[in-house]
Amino acid sequence: MNKIAQKVWDLALPVAVEQGLELWDVEYLREGGAWFLRVYIDKREGYVGIDDCERFSRALDPILDEADPIPDSYTFEVSSAGAERELKRPEDFPRFFGETVEVKLYQARDGQKSFIGPLRGYENGTVTIDTPAGARSFGPSETAQVRLRIV
């Protein structure tokens, strides 16, 4: 997470907690010549709806204006983490043990760059999934992305 995203995370976390939401991710990135600040939220019970996103956005917007953590102009978006969300932080993984994930690799292993199967473990950045060929583990240096998959 870059410095700006971390600052926004720190500002957004109390808002999420106050509203009974989980802060899932914060991205600050440039796309097509424009800067975007994206904040992803989640709920343990039920689905995140447009009303949740709007309420969270309205609460966080004045806090961002006052703290002014971003020197450039940007587009601010609040969204659900989504059903096929990326798992990034160590604390993201235990909640989804047993769920189907897709592990994408930087370089092919056994002729494949993508493996799909139930998440069986996560330890020190190493992701373990079940595949038809048995359990497979992928270290942090070879793993480009881990994402939930709806099958």
Q: Indicate the CATH number for domain 90-148.
A: 2.30.30.180
pLDDT at 13: 97
Which pTM was predicted? Answer: 0.86
pLDDT at 72: 86
**Residues pairing with 112 in the sheet:** 109
Q: Indicate the CATH number for domain 3-80.
A: 3.30.300.70
pLDDT at 121: 96
**φ and ψ at 39, to 5 degrees?**
-115, 125
Q: Where are the domains of the chain?
A: 3-80, 90-148
What is the amino acid identity at position 10? Answer: D
Closest to 39 measured CA to CA, from 71, 68, 7, 66: 7
pLDDT at 44: 83
pLDDT at 1: 72
CB atoms within 10 A of CB 141: 8
Residue numbers in the chain where pLDDT is lower than 50 = none
List, for residues 42-75, the tens digit of each pLDDT value: 998 878 999 999 999 999 999 999 999 998 899 9
